Amino acid sequence: MTGATGKATGEKARFVTSKILTAMLNFLRPGFARLFNPVVQALARTPVTPNMITVAGTVGVSASALALFPIGELFPGAAVATVFVFTDMLDGMLARRKGDSGRWGAFLDSTMDRVGDAGVFGGITIWFIRNPADHLLAVLSLFCLVCGFLVSYVKARAQSLGLKCDVGLIERPERLLIGLTSIGLSGLGVPYVLPIGLWALAAGSLFTLCQRMRAVYLDATTTATTTAETTAETTVETGAETTARTTARTTADTAADSEKG
Q: Is 259 within a domain?
A: no
Q: Is 254 within a domain?
A: no
CA distances from 93 to 52, 53, 96, 171, 178 (A): 13, 11, 5, 21, 24
Which CATH number do you get for residue 221? 1.20.120.1760
* Distance from C-alpha of 228 to C-alpha of 217, rounded to nearest angstrom: 16
Q: Kindly give the confidence (pLDDT) of every residue in the chain, 261 residues in length, as a single tens digit, with 9 standing for 90 and above.
A: 444 554 445 455 455 555 555 555 555 556 666 777 787 888 888 888 888 999 999 999 999 999 999 999 999 999 999 999 887 778 888 888 877 778 888 899 999 999 999 999 999 999 999 988 889 999 999 999 999 999 999 999 999 999 988 888 888 888 999 999 999 999 999 999 999 999 999 999 999 999 999 999 999 998 877 766 566 566 655 555 666 566 656 555 555 555 555
pTM, entire model: 0.74
Q: Is 71 within a domain?
A: yes
Q: Is 140 within a domain?
A: yes
Q: Is 243 within a domain?
A: no
Q: Is 244 within a domain?
A: no
DSSP for 15-53, please give it: HHHHHHHHHHHHHHHHHHHHHHHHHHHHHHTSS--HHHH
Could you tell me the residue range of the domain that residue 221 belongs to?
A: 2-226
How many structural domains compose the chain? Answer: 1
Q: Which sequence positions are flagged as catalytic?
A: 113
Q: Is 123 within a domain?
A: yes
Q: Is 260 within a domain?
A: no
